Amino acid sequence: MSGDAELELDTDDRRHTLWIVLWLNVAIAIGFFVVGYFADSNALLANGLDNSSDAIVYLLSLLALTRSRTWKRGAARFSGIMLLIFAGGVIADAIRRFLEGSDPGGVMMMVMAAVAGVVNLVCLRMLQNMKKKDVNLRAATTFSFNDFISNGGIIIAGIIVMLTGANWPDLVVGVAVAGIALYGGIDILRDAHKDRHDEEGTEHRKGDEFGR
């Protein structure tokens, strides 16, 4: 098989994987929003926003598959900035709920988080099995890993809410999800910055070799 044929096959496999994780995240985001509304849960709504941003990232990753390295970095930067904005919105909602009060449903939180955890694990495994990930695909993998960790926190918060009847575990997890998103956004932006310097270094070395 020629190099071009192998590259085309690899691109088709990546496209197929990204379409699957894209639609899975759209479905999970809708579930989080619906259940989060009825459960009066900041943590579930936070994860709904998170999965919505994930779906956008996967869509950008699909568009970036056949684009230039510069375009891929731009898509990754957009993903990172979006995560930072999302984190700020979740923290603001948690503060509002703390001041106004809320009554989260522990059982609904745990069930939704358990279902989402299974889906996120499937997405994470699929993305991890992709070879030679560029900066944008690495960003997509970061998103799925963040989601999987967040779901575990929601299950723990749901148990505490059931035992105590308090709303603070839900708020703590919501803010924690925002913190994970904040870290992930910074990590994605750092990776995009590093990728730019790596590319510039490669071009510089090629220029030196050509000059000889």
pLDDT profile of the chain (212 residues), mean per 10: 51 80 91 93 88 79 73 79 86 90 92 93 84 69 80 92 92 88 83 75 54 56
> Considering the domain 3-211 in this protein, what is its CATH number?
1.20.1510
**pLDDT reported for residue 34:** 95
Phi first, then psi: what are they for 167, rounded to 5°?
A: -100, -10
How confident is the model at residue 23, as a pLDDT? 92
pLDDT at residue 13, rounded to an integer: 77
Query: What is the pLDDT, as a whole number, of residue 3?
Result: 47
Q: Which two tokens stand for residue 192?
A: 């995009």
DSSP label at residue 146: H
Q: Are 17 and 126 in contact (CB under 8 A)?
A: yes
pLDDT of residue 116: 93
The residues spanned by each domain of the chain are 3-211
Q: Which of 118, 116, 89 is nearest to 182 (CA)?
A: 89
What was the pLDDT predicted at 205? Answer: 54
pTM for this predicted structure: 0.73
